[in-house]
């Protein structure tokens, strides 16, 4: 009987209170590029759904387009065994994984009306609407308005070879509000069991089952290269607590790009270069002098007319001071851009070919 209980607990390790399985679908991300969205609690059988969706995504989208394999998570956790399997799938397939918080906009803000106009046209998957929540005094924010990656969701997230997070944030007067008001997307606590079944165990059975669960999770975290700081912090909080971690703090606990992956693409394709290793010393100095002049012109324009650097992108793109040659600058930049394009194209193809080969094997 004790053995049966232990098996059940290992499967339910990080279980959430939501009994519904996750929604797994292909859609557009905030940049209108293709992505796989995993939303809701992860339950038994969801790994197979994720694997099938990923295989279809690779063979129908990645194979013949410029889209990359990207997952976007919004989950409060779920089955530990499934989340570990999904995390390992992310790792083996060299997937990008993101957790994007929502932009929280009061209806009085001018951006709110833009979002509502987009939605009125049916563009609900567009960037302007996808990660935006409009609230008001009559329609206050609710728990469902905040994106999350809590508990076992973090195990999935850490499997990615490239990872990014951004907290839920308020939007005021056209800018992101003070970071102190952000609502974190990351929530940590230790793995736990179904309380009803766990309570039926003797203290010795409970101890043995928890040791096995802890070993399973720690081995996975160590295998994917999680930092000791993150592992310790995850096991610090009890199952009835959530340790909300700000994105700026959480980024210090994991590799945004996994070292093994970074070294692999460097070995295959080389590295991007600002020109220092490509140009003569004189040409490199010339390039930087032109760029410094562009920045001075932007600062001058901002002083005279106001606005932000983003309002003067045309200067960065087109402006050349009279004392410099446009032809020479364009020739220099053509060398730099040509090299960096080749590196980027090589990296994308190396990853794409790996993914196509990986999922072609699964079809045979």
Q: What is the pLDDT of residue 114?
A: 81
- DSSP conformation letters of 284-318: HHHHHHHHHHHHHHHHHHHHHH---GGGGHHHHHH
- What would the pLDDT profile of 280-313 be if each residue is shown by its tens digit? 999 999 999 999 999 999 999 989 888 778 788 8
Asked if residue 98 lies in contact with residue 73, where contact means CB atoms within 8 angstroms, the answer is: yes
Residue where the block lists tokens 């952000």 = 182
The tally of CA atoms less than 13 A away on the side-chain side of residue 108 is: 6
Q: What is the pLDDT of residue 276?
A: 95
Structure tokens at 212: 């096995």
Q: Check pLDDT > 70 for residue 14.
A: no
Other beta carbons less than 10 A from residue 359's beta carbon = 20
- Say how far apart CA 267 and CA 265 lie, in whole Å: 5
Residue 225, helix vs strand vs coil: coil
Let me know how long the chain is.
Answer: 364
pLDDT bucket at 126, cuts 50 / 70 / 90? low
- What would the pLDDT profile of 196-205 be if each residue is shown by its tens digit? 778 888 899 8
- What would the pLDDT profile of 170-215 be if each residue is shown by its tens digit? 999 878 888 889 999 999 998 877 777 788 888 998 888 888 888 9
Other beta carbons less than 10 A from residue 211's beta carbon = 11
H/E run at residue 134: strand 132-135
φ/ψ (deg, to 5) at 355: -65, -40
Q: What is the pLDDT of residue 20?
A: 60
pTM for this predicted structure? 0.84
- Say how far apart CA 208 and CA 25 lie, in whole Å: 38
In the chain, % of residues over pLDDT 70: 91
- What would the pLDDT profile of 44-83 be if each residue is shown by its tens digit? 999 999 999 999 999 999 999 999 999 999 999 988 999 9
Nearest CA-CA partner of 35 in 115, 84, 97:
97
Judged by average pLDDT, the poorest of 14-18, 214-218, 266-270, 310-314 is 14-18
> All domains of the chain, ordered by start, with CATH?
2-102+146-257 (3.90.226), 268-363 (no CATH)
Residue 28, helix vs strand vs coil: strand
């Amino acid at each position: 009987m004790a053995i049966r209980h232990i098996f059940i607990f290992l499967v339910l390790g990080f279980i959430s209170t939501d009994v519904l399985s996750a929604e797994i679908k292909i859609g557009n991300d905030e940049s209108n590029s293709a992505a796989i969205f995993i939303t809701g609690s992860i339950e038994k059988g969801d790994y197979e759904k994720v694997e099938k969706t990923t295989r279809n995504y690779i063979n129908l989208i990645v194979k013949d387009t410029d889209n990359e394999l990207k997952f976007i998570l919004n989950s409060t956790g779920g089955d530990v065994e499934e989340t570990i399997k999904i995390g390992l799938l992310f790792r083996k397939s060299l997937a990008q994984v993101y957790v994007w918080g929502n932009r929280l906009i009061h209806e009085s803000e001018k951006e709110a009306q833009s979002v509502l106009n987009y939605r009125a046209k049916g563009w609900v998957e567009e960037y302007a609407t996808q990660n935006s929540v409009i609230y008001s005094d009559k329609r206050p924010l609710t728990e469902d308005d905040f994106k999350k990656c809590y508990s076992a969701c973090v195990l999935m997230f850490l499997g990615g070879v490239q990872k990014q997070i951004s907290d839920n944030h308020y939007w005021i007067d056209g800018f992101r509000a003070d970071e102190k008001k952000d609502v974190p997307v990351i929530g940590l606590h230790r793995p736990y069991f179904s309380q009803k079944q766990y309570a039926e165990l003797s203290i010795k059975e409970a101890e043995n089952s928890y040791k096995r669960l802890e070993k399973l999770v720690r081995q996975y975290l160590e295998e994917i290269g999680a930092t000791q700081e993150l592992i310790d912090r995850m096991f610090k909080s009890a199952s009835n607590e959530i340790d909300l971690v700000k994105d700026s703090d959480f980024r210090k606990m994991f590799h945004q790009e996994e070292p093994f992956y970074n070294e692999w693409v460097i070995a295959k394709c080389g590295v991007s270069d600002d020109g220092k290793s490509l140009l003569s010393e004189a040409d490199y100095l010339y390039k930087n002098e032109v760029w410094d002049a562009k920045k001075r012109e932007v600062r001058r324009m901002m002083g005279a007319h106001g606005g932000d650097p983003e309002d003067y992108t045309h200067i960065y793109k087109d402006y050349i001071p009279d004392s410099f040659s446009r032809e020479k600058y364009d020739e220099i930049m053509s060398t730099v851009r040509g090299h960096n394009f080749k590196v980027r194209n090589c990296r994308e193809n190396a990853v794409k070919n790996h993914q196509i080969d990986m999922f072609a094997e699964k079809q045979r």
